[in-house]
A and B are shown apart, each in its own frame.
Chain A
Amino acid sequence: MAKTQIPLNVLDTGGSAYVSERKVYPRDVSGPLNRLRVAAVIWLLGMYYVFPWLSWDGRQAVLFDLPARKFFVFGLTFWPQDFVFLAMLLMIAALALFFFTALAGRLWCGYACPQTVWTEVFLWMERAIEGDRHKRMKLDAGPWTRDKLLRKGAKHLVWLLFALWTGFTFVGFFTPIRDLAARAWPFQWGGWETFWVLFYALATWGNAGFLREQVCKYMCPYARFQSAMFDRNTLIIAYDPMRGEPRGPRKRGIASVLERARGLLDARTAYDYVFRAGKHPSAATQAAQAKGTITWDGDLGTVEPLPKFAPEELGDCIDCTICVQVCPTGIDIRNGLQYECIACGACIDACDEVMAKMGYPKGLIRYSTQNAIDGRSSRVLRPRIVLYGLILLGLAGGWAWGVSHRSPLIAEVLRDRNALYQQTGEHLVNGYTLKLVNKTDAAQAYRIRLEADPALRLRLTGEPLELRVPAGAVAAQAIEIDAPADVRGRHPVTLVVEAADGSARARLDSAFFGPIR
């Protein structure tokens, strides 16, 4: 037997072969886009925390009453039979996502996603207690002093209280929240109520406090199929390398390239500078600890580092790396659009502030399209926008029409499955079960008539039959149709159900069976 040696390499990583995720410490940022996000946070979380407390017609305005199998959303009541509207609503939501993504990129991620919104609030609390980026990094790196213990403890206490309130509100959407609050002290919650409050609180605490950008990067499918909706006319967060490169610190007093002889670079040179700066990051860029996942195909050979540029050759990027420091996903936007970018626009606000300090025009990092960055014209109205828009409008219109024109009555008739017919002396009898669902908020009386071929002389027992159904209730009634004993074979019959006040009407088709011959 030949001696074969399996090549073994010992991993030199100090124990584990897994790389733990480096924590991102987003720096505080201010500016118009941040104000927009704060407004979105207040609006969306406001709806979440306030809606269950509102009343409508004497009951909770938004209540998903699972035991009663009814959803109340302001004036509307949804029944299990209205499931199609929920399905349609999800389709509308998906199409809206496609439409807005194609138009303006990941607006959802930056401003509306619950992950973003709750992370933002958790960051506010973290910032208030532990301080801004630099202080938080120092605190984490430092030893466990009394101050660190107090700050960390206070942060988690505030986080947990907020998370518990969030879980309580969540359960308040499914069980009347005022009742739930009344039963909180002395504690009389049911086992499942308690479980879901704690579960949702734990999920909020974990997702918004710890996982944060990892949810977007590793758990969210949207980030991974966004490119199917992007094109060169989609609004993205873009760094302008023609204006910014070569990057570098400089003394004050050098004007923006837009105002001096150098002007904009050509795209080829600019992207080469970005590439080489990415391969040989400056000390400042390394200190900002951006996570680069940009990859290049093929053998790149040796990449030459950039030479030292004279001040008048420099572009407008001063390599302050604030754009990296404010990024909640910890990427360097100067490397171009990356799937990690949630389009929150923090880097735009941050860079504009720096540009203003330097006396440069704003917009080195800006909302733009790939076409605009490449110096081509952008087109807003393109086939996919028109198509998504039309389908979206059609679905939304159909949904609104459908919801407002729902029948206030659901009627079903089922033949008894035990026997086709019963013969009693001179008569043939067929049994049915009539099921009526009164979807209105008032008791209703329904009249039931039989329509059939008069020659058969079929008769609905007890005709004219009247059935009273309480508000929002389901009634099942056994009914019988009888016929002379000489009726043979199968005959179609129709039951007509009409509300006494004429508000609803249903026609139910079934069949009457006699002996075959």
Chain B
Amino acid sequence: MTDFTAPRLDHPPRPLAQRVGAILWPSFFAAGVATMVFFAFVDPLALRDLTFPQLQISRGLGYTLGFFTFWLATASSSLFTWILLRPASRFNRPLPPR
């Protein structure tokens, strides 16, 4: 008889270092590139004057904030991708024993 159950494309959980690394490293790299390109065209001081002129933000702080903001965005995206790629077996689990 034809087996209609979908083939099980499952993979055992990967080591924690690999999971964390696969999220943080590509996002770090992408954030670095984005920061470089962005600040090649935008001066942090000009950006400050447009947005929060009352705050004392130096160029260095502007670059730092920019990089970490980019990294937060890219890492969130990587984390989302990781969640979506987890196979069904990670979710369809028995209830924890009470």
User: Which A residues are within 8 Å of any B CB, using their own CB?
Assistant: 19, 22, 217-219, 221, 223-225, 227, 232, 281, 283, 286-287, 289-295, 338-340, 370, 414, 417
Contact = CB atoms under 8 A, between A and B. Distances in A.
Contacts of B2: 286
Interface in B1-19: 1-10
Given A221-B84, A232-B98, A339 B91 contact: yes
B59 interface: no
B40 interface: no
B84 A370 contact: no
Sorted nearest first, the 9 A-B pairs with minimum C-beta distance are A293-B88, A295-B89, A339-B91, A289-B4, A338-B92, A286-B4, A291-B6, A292-B5, A294-B92
Contact of B92 (A286, A339, A414, A417): A339
Contacts of A340: 88
Given A22-B6, A293-B89, A339-B92, A221 B80 contact: yes
A294 B89 CA distance: 7
Interface of B: 1-10, 53-54, 80, 83-84, 86, 88-89, 91-93, 95, 98
Contacts of A232: 95, 98
Given A227-B91, A294-B92, 12 more contacts: A19-B9, A22-B6, A221-B80, A232-B95, A232-B98, A287-B4, A291-B6, A293-B6, A293-B88, A295-B8, A295-B10, A414-B53
Given A281-B5, A294-B92, A370-B95, A224 B86 contact: yes
Contacts of B1: 283, 286
A379 to B, nearest CB: 13
7 contacts: A219-B84, A286-B1, A287-B4, A290-B5, A294-B92, A295-B93, A340-B88
A19 B6 CA distance: 9
A395 to B, nearest CB: 23
A118 to B, nearest CB: 21
A22 B52 CA distance: 53
A224 to B, nearest CB: 5
B45 to A, nearest CB: 12
Contacts of A219: 84
Contacts of B3: 286
Name the residue in B4, B10, B86, B89 with the highest tally of chain A Cβ atoms < 10 Å from its Cβ: B4
A295 B7 CA distance: 12
Contacts of A225: 83
Contacts of B54: 414
Contacts of B4: 286-287, 289-290
Name the residue in B1, B3, B5 with the highest tally of chain A Cβ atoms < 10 Å from its Cβ: B5
Nearest to B8: A295
A32 B93 CA distance: 30
Given A283-B1, A289-B4, A224 B83 contact: yes
A14 B34 CA distance: 42
Contacts of A339: 88, 91-92
Contacts of A290: 4-5
Nearest to B54: A414
B91 to A, nearest CB: 4
B7 A19 contact: yes
Name the residue in A227, A295, A414 with the highest tally of chain B Cβ atoms < 10 Å from its Cβ: A295
B5 A291 contact: yes
A53 to B, nearest CB: 36
Contacts of B88: 217, 293, 295, 338-340
B70 to A, nearest CB: 21
Contact of A224 (B9, B84, B98): B84
B76 to A, nearest CB: 11
Contacts of A292: 5-6
A236 to B, nearest CB: 11
Contacts of A224: 83-84, 86, 91
Nearest to B90: A224
A294 B9 CA distance: 13
Nearest to A231: B95
Name the residue in B9, B80, B84 with the highest tally of chain A Cβ atoms < 10 Å from its Cβ: B84
Nearest to A278: B5
A315 B53 CA distance: 74
B84 to A, nearest CB: 6
A456 B13 CA distance: 73
A516 to B, nearest CB: 19
A16 B83 CA distance: 25
B98 to A, nearest CB: 7
B95 to A, nearest CB: 7
A276 B36 CA distance: 58
Contacts of B83: 221, 224-225
A224 B82 CA distance: 11
A289 B86 CA distance: 23
Name the residue in B10, B83, B91 with the highest tally of chain A Cβ atoms < 10 Å from its Cβ: B91
A201 to B, nearest CB: 25
Contacts of B89: 293, 295
A414 to B, nearest CB: 7
A153 B80 CA distance: 37
A417 B56 CA distance: 13
A287 B7 CA distance: 16
Contacts of A291: 5-6
Contacts of B10: 295
Contacts of B6: 19, 22, 291-293
Contacts of A338: 88, 92
A283 B93 CA distance: 26
